[in-house]
Amino acid sequence: MLLAMNRRASVDEFLKQKRIAFVGVSRNERHFSRSLFREFVKRGYEVIPVNPNAETIDGKPSFASVTQIEPPVESALLITPNGQTRKVVEECAAAGVRRVWMYRAAGQGSVDRAAVEFCDARDIDVIAGECPNMFFPDAGWVHRTHGFIRRLTGNYPG
């Protein structure tokens, strides 16, 4: 199954990028997407918020679309409802984004099969699911435990 074939090499390559668009980061300071956003900032990433309903996120200018970011980014983390993911990956392709991560911790997350197929057809490296926190060195115990369970069940990217 396509969605289960995330490769660890794709995860590692994505996390090597230091400038990443965060598409769908919430205006709500208590939303999980904001804590993930802040974790990337804490780890030295330049994160660019994309939320058409926000002027700024944590003091950073927010963009309505990935296509508006200047200079353009090569990677985008999607924290959008999966019903919006296809439109967002089309915008990513138009903006020249080469790596897309469709966030998922539980449930469907941002993962959308048609969006994955769209990325595959355009040679955009896509990670369909997963939580980036699971792959950070020195991640918190919750994320390490989640990764350990995924390894035990054979669902950890290899």
| pLDDT tens-digit readout, 106-151 | 656 788 999 999 999 999 999 988 788 877 777 665 555 555 556 6
* Cβ density class 23-38: b for 16+ within 10 Å, e for less: bbbbeeeeeebbebbe
Give the residue extent of every domain in the chain. Answer: 2-152
Q: What is the pLDDT of residues 10-38, one digit of tens each?
A: 888 999 999 999 999 999 998 889 999 99
2-152 — its CATH code? 3.40.50.720
β-pair partners for 50: 23, 63
DSSP state of 65: S
